[in-house]
Amino acid sequence: MRVSRSSLLWIGLFTVTWMLASYGKSMATAADMKWLIKYPNAWVFPLKDTISDMMRWLVEDAHFGLFTFTEATRALSWLIEQPYNFVRALFSDGFDRRIGRDAVQIVPPLSWIAVLAGVIALGHYAKDWVLAGIVGASFAYLAVFGQWESAMVTLASVMIAVPIGVGGGLMFGILAYRHPLFERLMTPVLDLMQTIPIFAYLVPILFMFGFGPVSALVATVIYAMPPMVRITTMALKAVDPEIKDFGVMTGCTTRQMTWRILVPAAQQSLMVGVNQVIMLSLNMVIIASMIGAGGLGFDVLSALRRLDIGGGFEAGIAIVILAIAIDRLSQAFAERSTMYVPTNSGTSFVARNPRTVIVGVILVIAMGLGQIIPFFQTYPEGQTLTTGAFWSDAVKYLNINYFDQFEAVKIFFLKGFMLPIKRFFLGVPWPWMIAMIVLIGWRFGGWKLALMNGLMAVFIVTTGLWAKAMITVYLCGASVIIASVIGIPFGVLAAVNKRAGRIIGVVIDTLQTLPSFVYLIPVVMLFRIGDFTAMIAIVLYALAPAVRYTEHGVGSVSADLIEAGVVSGCTRMQILTRIRLPLALPDILLGVNQTIMLALSMLVITALVGTRDLGQEVYIALTKADTGRGIVAGLGIAFIAIIADRVIPASARNARIRYGLEGGHD
């Protein structure tokens, strides 16, 4: 009886909320209490000015005795710049003697043939000829489609950002593993690093590290490092206690224990973290290019500014190809690190390192010939292919012939789906909404979650961001619903049909690594500026976890249970709806949770088409170089994300308990 009473209570509360959303405004106006709907400007706490002032003090006045804060950050900046300049010269620019107009190139950049041979050899070394072929074809694509030079610049940034991200992540992760207090301090910091949009802290980074590629690298590292920290701590904790005991028995020091025993034992899990750092770094290339990283991201941006859709698409695909090549390579290395490879000691260097020798020979020959025949140095521009016109024409064809149909679909969704949600969120008086958020926190996570939810919601109100935050919630909410409606069935399909699963996997991978800016502009052409366009962009980007988690959940239902279903005469449909789906529910919920996270991280990009949410606030702050405004709005987005991130797993846990997958007290 208790269950039904509590669900009755929730239905009642929701009805009250709905009524308030519909009639609250007129009631508040009638009672002369408009502050219930619109938080008065006079009550706004000027936190953003405080932050801006602090930043100014830090950059202009802060002093550590011997040197200023700015000098310290600039020194760090110089330190990062040196290896970056070296790698960039090696792959893209070449080494110059003297500077400026009188520059004489003493060593040209690596010949494209040599790089190609190098990556093929790496592929073969890491796994087999299949991988070598994939990686080789990817790099050949970059050369043939005229993306080589930009791709090498991007590769150079990735090659610097990834080691820093991995190294830093490993350090923080180990610290968190050793000191529980540090771990507890680190957790909220990591949450913020992953949820505050990069645009929000771009301005302070520019102040501290100066203009140029280093700032872009720092921003990339901040964004890409958190998964590495989390995975390191987790992996170290998961090391078999027997291995640890073995270390203790042999009398290891703490240092030996960490580097000789724990880290090698956890290597395979750690490589997952490395892989994440690589993929997130490549996700950053567009934003990094806006502040001086150049490369493929810049090509995408500048192509779309002149509405060269094909050009933007090709550069975008080049990013995808590069990401896939590096991803497959790093995964192969992860697998390889657990295999035992016998070393044939005693033979000559050539016999032991055949690939190194072959690549070395190719390098020397290609670079030598390159001095005489340019083809060996740089892929000739005249030989490049382009499909640019095709993409522009395709969009034009759709636009001219099917615009009315697109328009009809859009109006249908706007009127029947998006606008009601928007009115709901903007209509509910903020004190009531906060009460609801606290109540939900209490229901799923006890008083701690309730308190946290309350504080975060109050922060959003008191900084004057409530209306924009509600538009954010509406836009993300609508997108997440659509993404789930599309993604979950595809996830189920991928789980029950292997071949469909493979195709869906490729599509999802592409959607995630293709910079969203590439498809944002064609979508604007077909659907005009507005919330619907923003929603399409968010759905495309945030679809992936809904598909993947569903696939994983449905696919990993234990075979015994399915057999039990078959034995008791279930049809395939019944097995799906009665056994697979209910048991996969917790996974699906976690997938939805991740979809929300991605949707929120996409907001700043949709601000580029003209939404009026917190993403726009962050974007305005960026273009006005207003540190405080950006950080406050960024925190607003982060808090929405964190509330969702805490409430949904808590409810997923409830679901698991209900289906008896986990012991519980409820």
210 binds another protein (CB under 8 A): yes
3-state secondary structure of 253: coil
Site for another protein in 104-133 (CB under 8 A): 106
3-state secondary structure of 250: coil
51 binds another protein (CB under 8 A): no
Element of type H or E holding 107: strand 104-107
From residue 241, alpha-carbon distances to 171, 229, 443 in Å are 21, 21, 37
Among 305, 336, 448, 572, binds another protein (CB under 8 A): 305
Q: Which stretch binds another protein (CB under 8 A): 236-244, 304-312, 343-351, 469-477?
A: 304-312
DSSP assignment letter at 111 = P
68 binds another protein (CB under 8 A): no
At residue 72, what are phi and psi to the nearest 5 degrees? Answer: -65, -45
Q: What is the smallest separation between the CB atom of 226 and another protein, expressed in angstroms?
A: 25
Q: What is the smallest separation between the CB atom of 610 and another protein, expressed in angstroms?
A: 4
Question: What are the residues whose beta carbons fall under 8 Å from the beta carbon of 348, sequence distance 6 or more?
Answer: none
601 binds another protein (CB under 8 A): no
Q: What is the smallest separation between the CB atom of 613 and another protein, expressed in angstroms?
A: 11
Of 484 and 533, nearer to another protein (C-beta) is 533
Q: What is the smallest separation between the CB atom of 528 and another protein, expressed in angstroms?
A: 6
Nearest to 647 by CA among 448, 474, 473: 448
Determine the size of the site formed for another protein (CB under 8 A). Answer: 59
Site for another protein in 461-480 (CB under 8 A): none
On whether the CB atoms of residues 288 and 221 are closer than 8 A, the answer is no
At residue 95, what are phi and psi to the nearest 5 degrees? Answer: -95, 130
Q: Which stretch binds another protein (CB under 8 A): 233-241, 261-269, 436-444, 605-613?
A: 605-613
Among 323, 524, 585, 596, binds another protein (CB under 8 A): 524
302 binds another protein (CB under 8 A): yes
On whether the CB atoms of residues 140 and 133 are closer than 8 A, the answer is no
CB atoms within 10 A of CB 35: 14
Tokens of 241: 């206690």
Of 208 and 321, nearer to another protein (C-beta) is 208
Q: Which stretch binds another protein (CB under 8 A): 221-229, 396-404, 456-464, 480-488?
A: 396-404
622 binds another protein (CB under 8 A): yes
Tokens of 543: 């679809």
Of 33 and 361, nearer to another protein (C-beta) is 361
In whole angstroms, what is the distance from residue 494 CA to residue 491 CA?
5
Among 63, 623, 662, 664, binds another protein (CB under 8 A): 623
Question: What are the residues whose beta carbons fall under 8 Å from the beta carbon of 92, sequence distance 6 or more?
Answer: 109, 149, 152, 153, 156
Of 163 and 649, nearer to another protein (C-beta) is 163
52 binds another protein (CB under 8 A): no
Half-sphere exposure of 227 (CA within 13 A, CB side): 17
Element of type H or E holding 102: none
Tokens of 586: 């917790």
306 binds another protein (CB under 8 A): yes
Return the exposure string of 270-283: e unless at least 16 CB atoms fall within 10 Å of the residue's CB, then b: bbbbbbbbbbbbbb
Nearest to 147 by CA among 393, 312, 282, 289: 312
606 binds another protein (CB under 8 A): yes
Q: What is the smallest separation between the CB atom of 520 and another protein, expressed in angstroms?
A: 8
Nearest to 210 by CA among 63, 76, 373: 76
Q: What is the smallest separation between the CB atom of 521 and another protein, expressed in angstroms?
A: 5
Q: What is the smallest separation between the CB atom of 290 and another protein, expressed in angstroms?
A: 6
Q: What is the smallest separation between the CB atom of 274 and another protein, expressed in angstroms?
A: 22
Of 291 and 592, nearer to another protein (C-beta) is 291
Site for another protein in 75-104 (CB under 8 A): 86, 95-102
Q: Which stretch binds another protein (CB under 8 A): 168-176, 344-352, 619-627, 634-642?
A: 619-627
Among 234, 394, 493, 526, binds another protein (CB under 8 A): 526
Element of type H or E holding 95: strand 95-97
520 binds another protein (CB under 8 A): yes
Of 576 and 599, nearer to another protein (C-beta) is 599
Question: What are the residues whose beta carbons fall under 8 Å from the beta carbon of 455, sequence distance 6 or more?
Answer: none
Of 136 and 213, nearer to another protein (C-beta) is 213
Nearest to 462 by CA among 183, 48, 65, 155: 48
Question: What are the residues whose beta carbons fall under 8 Å from the beta carbon of 185, sequence distance 6 or more?
Answer: none
Among 131, 166, 291, 640, binds another protein (CB under 8 A): 291
Q: Fill in the per-residue mask, 150 to 189: x = in contact with another protein (CB under 8 A), - = not in contact.
A: ----------------------------------------
Among 34, 336, 572, 624, binds another protein (CB under 8 A): 624
Considering only CA atoms, give the Rg of the chain: 27
Helices (H) and strands (E) in the chain, counts: 31, 2
Of 445 and 630, nearer to another protein (C-beta) is 630
Place of tokens 């190098």: 118
63 binds another protein (CB under 8 A): no
Measured between its terminal Cα atoms, the distance across the chain in Å is 14
Among 44, 159, 301, 435, binds another protein (CB under 8 A): 301
528 binds another protein (CB under 8 A): yes
Q: What is the smallest separation between the CB atom of 599 and another protein, expressed in angstroms?
A: 17
In whole angstroms, what is the distance from residue 293 CA to residue 174 CA?
31
**Which residues are at the interface with another protein (CB under 8 A)?**
86, 95-102, 106, 202-203, 206-207, 210-212, 289-294, 298, 301-302, 304-307, 396, 399-400, 403, 407, 411, 414, 520-522, 524-526, 528-530, 606-611, 616, 619-620, 622-625
